[in-house]
Amino acid sequence: MPRRPRGQLKEMILDATDGLLFATGDVHAVSIDAVVQAVDCTPPALYYYFPTKENLIFEAGQRQYQRFAADLQTSLPDTEDPLIELRARGHAYLDWGVAHPEHYRILFMTPYPPYSGAETLDPRDAHGLKELIDNLARATEVGLMRPADPWETALAFWSIVHGITALAIINPFIPADFTHSTLATTSEALIQRYSP
């Protein structure tokens, strides 16, 4: 077996894990044996980069979250108004979910196995969520939104957008313009401009 360039094997393992996740739609169906077979490497070579299956699944998920967050950021308008950005963020999230239903199911609708290092992670630093919290904090700081905890408001906003996105994926017969108008209506009570 030819020697691969340093670091290439790790990316190949993550790519194979992604492929198996999307093929099976189930993190529990992804086995170490299936990954090493797909990559044509040995289990010790995989364990060099990922000591446990949980580590492997976690890193594969983190990479997908990072890609999702980057896609979301590039679709936002260039604006100084954090409320315009926030509304656009919700609609971009909905569009991304509908355009990538399998990715969305894996990222946001599939329970991941426990990961030993997860308790040390701050969920507010998660890809996508961190940018949403920052967006809400800026809206509050400049007086466009009622003072509130941006973390709590982010979870409320995410719940609205996620719920509508999940419905749109599960029920593709719902017209896209209707899901977007529903998102605008339901989120407006949360993010409407504040007039003290």
- pLDDT tens digits, one per residue of 38-94: 999 999 999 999 999 988 988 888 888 899 999 999 999 999 999 999 999 999 999
pTM of this prediction?
0.83
The confidence score (pLDDT) of residue 177 equals 96
- Asked if 99 and 174 sit in the same domain, the reply is yes
> What is the domain-level CATH number for residue 42?
1.10.10
**37 and 113 part of one domain:** no
What is the structure's pLDDT at 9?
94
139 and 100, same domain (yes or no): yes
How much is the pLDDT for 35?
A: 96
Q: Which domain covers residue 154, as residue numbers?
A: 61-191
Q: Based on the fold, state whether residues 31 and 71 are members of the same structural domain.
A: no
pLDDT of residue 2: 57
Task: Give yes or no: residues 65 and 160 share one domain.
Answer: yes
What angle (nearest 5°) sits at the alpha carbon of residue 26, between those of residues 42 and 55? 45
pLDDT of residue 171: 95
Residues 21, 100 share a domain: no
Q: Indicate if 68 and 136 belong to the same structural domain.
A: yes
Establish if 196 belongs to a structural domain: no
Beta-carbon contacts of residue 50 (< 8 Å; ≥ 6 apart): 13, 56, 59
Question: What was the pLDDT predicted at 124?
Answer: 82
Question: In the prediction, which pLDDT does 3 show?
Answer: 62
- Ranges under pLDDT 70 in the chain: 1-6, 112-120, 194-196
The answer to whether position 159 is within a domain reads yes
Regarding whether 39 and 68 lie in a shared domain, the answer is no
Give the pLDDT of residue 6.
Answer: 62
119 and 30 together in one domain: no
Predicted pLDDT at 196: 61
